[in-house]
């Protein structure tokens, strides 16, 4: 069996799953109602998280032993820089909206975890575009 190489693109892409898990866990913590099927959702998310972390740890360990692509690392830093600027603006807008009582704390929480998920997707897209063009 041929061993597959772990790419930086794969590792950056899996951060989207981390952000989606953050949204799921926030929903579990912040909801105010309860339905019987919530137990099943929580159990599935918990098992998926454990299995995903174990698989991801093995992929990261494998990646740490491989030769690094310096151009891809520079592109990731550029994408991170752009993503940070976008996230600062988004968090500032959410904080201002909370300060002037335009949104409640629960809505602000959902907006924050939604912003984290959105910025993770944007970061991945920026990285893929920069990496494919060799910028």
pLDDT one-digit tens code per residue, 43-54: 999 999 999 999
Q: What is the mean pLDDT of the chain?
A: 88
Q: Per the domain annotation, does 2 fall within a domain?
A: no
Q: Per the domain annotation, does 14 fall within a domain?
A: yes
Detail the DSSP E strand segments found in the chain. Answer: none
Q: Whole-angstrom Cα distance, residue 84 to residue 117?
A: 13
Q: Per the domain annotation, does 1 fall within a domain?
A: no
Sequence-separated contacts (24+) of 70-75 with Cβ below 8 Å: 71/131, 71/134, 72/7, 72/8, 72/9, 72/131, 73/8, 75/127, 75/130, 75/131, 75/135
What pLDDT shows up at residue 37?
Answer: 86
Q: What is the pTM of this model?
A: 0.83
What pLDDT shows up at residue 3?
Answer: 66
Rank 59-68, 84-93, 100-109, 124-133 by mean pLDDT and report only the highest: 84-93
Q: Per the domain annotation, does 43 fall within a domain?
A: yes
Torsion of CA 12, 60, 3, 80, to 10 degrees: 20
Domain that holds residue 32: 8-133
Domains of the chain: total? 1
Q: Whole-angstrom Cα distance, residue 100 to residue 107?
A: 14
Q: Are 68 and 6 in contact (CB under 8 A)?
A: no
Q: What percent of the chain has pLDDT over 90?
A: 52
């Amino acid at each position: 069996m041929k061993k597959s190489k772990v790419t930086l693109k794969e590792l950056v892409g899996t951060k989207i799953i981390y952000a989606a898990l953050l949204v799921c866990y926030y929903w579990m913590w912040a909801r105010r109602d309860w339905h019987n099927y919530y137990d099943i959702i929580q159990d599935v998310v918990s098992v998926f998280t454990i299995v995903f972390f174990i698989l991801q740890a093995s992929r990261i360990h494998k990646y740490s032993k491989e030769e690094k692509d310096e151009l891809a690392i520079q592109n990731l830093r550029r994408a991170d820089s752009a993503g940070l600027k976008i996230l600062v603006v988004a968090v500032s807008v959410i904080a201002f909206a909370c300060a002037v009582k335009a949104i409640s704390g629960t809505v602000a929480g959902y907006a924050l975890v939604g912003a984290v998920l959105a910025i993770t997707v944007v970061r991945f897209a920026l990285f893929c575009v920069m990496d494919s063009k060799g910028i």
